[in-house]
Amino acid sequence: MPKGATTRLVALYAVAVLLGIASAWLWVTRIGISGVDAGQWRVNLLAGSTQADAYTRARIAIFALLALDRRETLYYTTDRDDGGASLRAECPYSIALRPPTARWWSITAYAADGFLFPNKTRRYSVSGENANVDADGWARFLIAPQSSAAGVDARITTSGAGAMRLTLRLYQPDEGLQRAPQALDPPRIKKIGRCVS
């Protein structure tokens, strides 16, 4: 085989390998985790499960490593407010939810990289233990940048700019929710006031 033809073949197979790796990475990281929806919130029923398919397993490993099986924990996540707009770290939001039927629950805010926002006051989450539930049965609180006016009263404070994701954890959810996670009364998320620049 002429040397030029060999070089072209090596290049062809090298490109095939690179495209294989790149397509897998894009497929896993750019396509959202599948699941069932409750309002703007989505829960993947195979997170942590031995029944997970290869793509789900890879996505969970990247975005939610060491998740528990749904009989132990349901993880609802969202990156949208009730109006469908992307959640932003630089914007204030009000959250309202009816405490879900689970052993305990919490809502935590994560930055785009999947980690907690730098936070001097350690206000990272609100849970069933520390939420204030009003007479109508609603727990209401604010998520806001710590540098904003709303940040003073916020139960969860953010910092910087960029995408934000909320995770609602339900540890030991009741059997009804395990069977039909879409039946969750989803926490409401409303943008309030102006975003900090």
Partner 1 sequence: MNTWRHALTAFGVLLVTHALTVWTLPRVIMWRVMSVASAETNPAGTFLPPPTDHTARRIVMPSPDLLYATCSLSLRDGPIRVSFDGHYPRYWSIALYAANSDNFFVAGDRNNADQPVRWLVSTPSQNATASSPAAERQITAPSDRVFLLMRLLVNDDPAVLAEAERARRSLRCTNTVES
Q: Which residues bind partner 1 (CB under 8 A)?
A: 9, 12-13, 15-17, 19-21, 23-25, 27-28, 48-50, 52, 54-55, 57-58, 60-69, 72, 103-104, 106, 108, 110, 113-119, 122, 124-125, 127, 129-130, 167, 169, 171-172
User: Looking at beta carbons only, is 159 or 182 nearer to partner 1?
Assistant: 159
Q: How far is the CB of 51 from partner 1 (least distance, A)?
A: 9
Q: How far is the CB of 48 from partner 1 (least distance, A)?
A: 4
DSSP-assigned states of every residue in 164-190 = EEEEEEEEEE-HHHHH-GGGS-PPEEE
Q: How far is the CB of 19 from partner 1 (least distance, A)?
A: 5
User: Looking at beta carbons only, is 16 or 192 nearer to partner 1?
Assistant: 16
User: Looking at beta carbons only, is 19 or 152 nearer to partner 1?
Assistant: 19
Q: Is 29 helix (H, G, I), strand (E, B) or coil?
A: helix
User: From CA 68, how far away is CA 130, in angstroms rounded?
Assistant: 23
User: Looking at beta carbons only, is 31 or 192 nearer to partner 1?
Assistant: 31
C-alpha to C-alpha distances, 97 to 11, 44, 147, 171, nearest whole angstrom: 56, 20, 25, 16
Q: How far is the CB of 64 from partner 1 (least distance, A)?
A: 5
User: From CA 130, how far away is CA 117, in angstroms rounded?
Assistant: 20
C-alpha to C-alpha distances, 179 to 22, 56, 74, 80, 99, nearest whole angstrom: 36, 20, 11, 25, 18
